[in-house]
Amino acid sequence: MEGTNIVDDRRKEIERVLDEYEQRIGIPAYTPEFSYSEEIQKLLSLNYESMERMHPDDCVQARVMLSSFAFHIQRSINREQARISWADSQLKKSVTPRLNQYKSGGSWEHTFDQATLDDGYTLKVFDIKYYAKQRSDRLYFLASAVREIGEALKDLERAKRQKGQIYG
């Protein structure tokens, strides 16, 4: 499908430009895999008793790893949001000139959807938008939830140090 190749090429070009921009402002290159996955899974599944047994220094180290993971999740969300914005602009640019060709028995959205689904290029863009939206929605609250766990570890570490607890 020729329209599919054009869509993929345009999307990849926009993502390349955005990646270059991030690197120019000092953000390291994005990789979808997170390097501390096993450690993060262990930290996210800790129960209260396990956290209580942690040494204050381990709390600090865990908090740093969780903060890094929260940044990674937020960055992943931002990438999906950029895809959604790109897809929206592509759909509007491609579909709006053809809207008059469709009889509107309903709302503007219905007519827009009709025009979108009637063209290979816009259908591919719509699929990209839909997939990116699903991924973004799935991650939406995770970054803040991970940060909250990090904050709990920060409070725990502070309380342990104030009590002067010594761990061996």
Assigned domain for 168 exists: no
Q: Is residue 30 part of a domain?
A: no
Average pLDDT over residues 24-39: 87
- Considering the chain, what is the average pLDDT of its residues? 88
Task: Report yes or no on 151 lying in a domain.
Answer: yes
Q: 111 pLDDT band (50/70/90 cuts)?
A: confident
Q: For 63-108, what is each residue's pLDDT tens digit?
A: 999 999 999 999 999 999 999 999 999 999 999 888 888 776 778 8
Is residue 29 assigned to a domain? no
Q: Give the other-Cβ count within 10 Å of 157's Cβ.
A: 21
Percent of all residues in the chain with a pLDDT value above 90, rounded to a whole number: 61
Nearest-angstrom CA–CA distance, 146 and 165: 26
Average pLDDT over residues 133-162: 92
Pick 35 or 70 by higher pLDDT. Answer: 70
Structural domain for 148, as ranges: 2-24+36-163
- 98 found inside a domain: yes
Residue 165 above 90 pLDDT? no
pTM of the shown model? 0.81
Give domain status of residue 118, yes or no: yes
Amino acid 3: pLDDT: 62
